[in-house]
Amino acid sequence: MKGIIGFIKNWALLLALLAGCLGHDVFIDYADKTVYLIFAMLLFTFCRIDPSQIRFRKVHVVFLSVQLFGAMGLYYLFAALGWRNLAESGMMCILTPTAAASAVVTMKLGGDAASNTTYVLLSSLLISFVAPLWFPFLHETAGQIPFWMACWSILKRVLPLLAGPFLLAMLLKYAAPGLHGRLARWHEVSFYMWAACLVFAAAQMMDAVLRSTAGGKLSALLAFVSAVLCGTLFFLGKRLGRHYGDSISGGQSLGQKNMVLGIWVAGMFLTPADGTTPMAIVGMGTYIIWQNIINSWQLWRRRQNENGNG
């Protein structure tokens, strides 16, 4: 029994992905309810964060530059080679903002969750303004959406899920410090809430991929590119983060993406004129798998080190 529990703890993220993929027909109907899980999950996490540490830092400028210019550079490189589908997929894998739940993994790995949380907000603001400004030059259908409407459509899917739990955590800190302290001590619950969210995220990913008209060869190529980009972003984030004092937060900030939001943005701006599902969604969907394989390995390695086996 102890071995089974240890296995679940080590590989909870991958088990959640497998469950979501296999049962996507069931879970897809409830995917919109994950906002409540994410809200509760972030509340537990934010009760552990010192609000004075949530501030803009030099490393965030570096990460924003990688996110923006990396996406633009890769897009124009692939587009010049005539690889339009790869260009859009790679661009979205880099430009998509950091997942709000990355703070949970950052904290579990022993990193700076405050720095990571700050970057979640900054990277979300970046795509909220860049997508409506830049995408109309890449895709004619994107130009049909008014700029401020497009900005607000993205922001309203991100900001409430960040601001709500944070403000409630701060309110509890001063109005109900006892409850605040208990939530802070029970922060481990947030990780399993994130695993539950992944079940529904995997179901959404599977549904988007199945609706795509990409053939097997193109799907495999898009998946390969997303795997390379995922590994590169985690590696680059850790190297840059180490230079500024926190490789764990850096890896999560650049590597762990809010691909559910990214897929929604791609559907909003990059849908072809004939209404078919953007091919980029296949690459973005498989990115969810790669980033959770990396995080599962990191969590397993940390647990091994804590047990004296690493």
Number of domains in the chain: 1
CA–CA dist 289, 223 (Å, integer): 10
Distance from C-alpha of 252 to C-alpha of 233, rounded to nearest angstrom: 9
98: phi then psi, degrees, rounded to nearest 5: -65, 140
Structure confidence by residue, pLDDT tens digits, 149-199: 888 888 888 888 888 888 999 999 889 989 888 888 887 788 888 888 888
Q: Which residues of 261-273 are buried (b: 16+ CB within 10 A; e: fewer)?
A: bbbbbbebbbbee
Instruction: Say what the pLDDT of residue 303 is.
Output: 80
Q: What is the pLDDT of residue 14?
A: 82
Q: What is the 3-state composition of the chain as percent helix, strand, coil, each rounded to the nearest 5?
A: 80, 0, 15
> Which pLDDT value is given to residue 3?
61
Domain annotation covers residue 93: yes
Q: Is residue 309 part of a domain?
A: no
Whole-number Å distance between alpha carbons of 119 and 14 = 25
For position 139, what pLDDT does the model report?
Answer: 76
In a domain, 273, yes or no: yes
How deeply is 3 buried, as exposed, middle or buried, from its count of CB atoms within 10 A (0-12, 13-18, 19+)? exposed
CATH number at residue 62: 1.20.1530.20
Structural domain boundaries enclosing 23 = 18-297
On whether residue 5 sits in a domain, the answer given is no
Q: Does some domain include residue 12?
A: no
Other Cβ atoms less than 10 A from the Cβ of 255: the count is 26
Residue 274 has pLDDT above 80, yes or no: no
List, for residues 97-124, the tens digit of each pLDDT value.
Answer: 998 888 888 988 888 888 998 999 999 9
The whole-chain average pLDDT of the chain stands at 85
Helix (H) / strand (E) element for 253: namely: helix 247-255
- In a domain, residue 286? The reply is yes
Three-class DSSP category at 244: coil
pLDDT at 129 over 80: yes
The answer to whether the predicted template modeling score (pTM) of the entire model surpasses 0.95 is no
Residue 29 CA from chain centroid, whole number: 21
Task: Give the integer Cα–Cα distance in Å for 230 and 100.
Answer: 17
Q: For residue range 237-271, what is the model confidence (pLDDT) as tens digits? A: 999 999 888 899 999 999 999 888 888 888 888 87
> Is residue 6 in a domain?
no
* 188: amino acid identity, one letter: E
User: pLDDT class for 2, splitting at 50, 70, 90?
Assistant: low
Cβ proximity of 105 and 275 under 8 Å: no
- Tokens in use for 261? 């939001």
Q: Is residue 223 part of a domain?
A: yes
Give the rounded percent of residues in the chain with a pLDDT score beyond 90.
29
CA dist., res. 46 & res. 167, Å (int) = 9
Cβ 305 vs Cβ 110: under 8 Å: no
User: Residue 17: its pLDDT value, please?
Assistant: 85
